[in-house]
Amino acid sequence: MNTDSGTGSTSGAVAGSRLWRLLRHRLVDETDARRALGPAALDRITARIAASEQRHSGEIRVCVEAGLPLSYLWRRASARERAVSIFGKLRVWDTEANNGVLIYLLLAEHAIEIVADRGLARQVPAGHWQTIVASMRDAFRQGHFEQGLMQAIDAVEAPLLSHYPLRAGERNPNELPDRPHMPG
């Protein structure tokens, strides 16, 4: 006699979903990230960030990660949680004016996160960051990773220019590296 109340199928679906997520993250590796953004694309993104930072005192960091580390997958951490962790690890929070911004791309989930430090976050509505993410998502769906990141850098630059412009003779101290970070 079957006494299953139906909960087994739900837990089976959850387990299957968890397994699928684990596989998706393990099947995507650093090679995929480097194929999406080759050396020339990374050089162009680096140059775009450097040029942007010559116009304001903010710091822009880009991180492209193929998949989440196993520890994040086991505890079902979100892409947002990982982005906030990377924000700390890359010391984006540690700028003099608290005006660093991380643009985070997680290829395995096609997830995009923008984390702005408290100085800038107080002055820019959350909707602005969501608009940037939406525009990046459209470019990424079409496989235009470099174009999407370039658009994001330009969109992040706008509030930095508005709230943290450099005065005549002033230079950005360039507190953080301009080259995109690709863990792995």
Domain of 158? 31-163
Give the total number of structural domains in the chain. Answer: 1
Q: What is the DSSP secondary structure assignment for residue 31, as one 8-state letter?
A: H
In a domain, residue 42? The reply is: yes
Given pLDDT bands bounded at 50, 70 and 90, which one contains residue 184?
confident
H helix or E strand, kind and range, residue 80: helix 79-89
In a domain, residue 43? The reply is: yes
pLDDT tens digits along 102-112: 999 998 888 89
54-65: average pLDDT: 96
In a domain, residue 11? The reply is: no
Query: What is the domain-level CATH number for residue 90?
Result: 3.10.310.50
In a domain, residue 53? The reply is: yes
In a domain, residue 23? The reply is: no
DSSP 130-153: HHHHHHHHHHHHTT-HHHHHHHHH
pLDDT tens digits along 70-96: 899 889 999 999 999 999 999 999 999
Given pLDDT bands bounded at 50, 70 and 90, which one contains residue 6?
very low
pLDDT tens digits along 97-135: 999 999 999 988 888 999 999 999 999 998 999 999 988
Q: Are 101 and 93 in contact (CB under 8 A)?
A: no
Q: What confidence score (pLDDT) does residue 146 get? A: 92
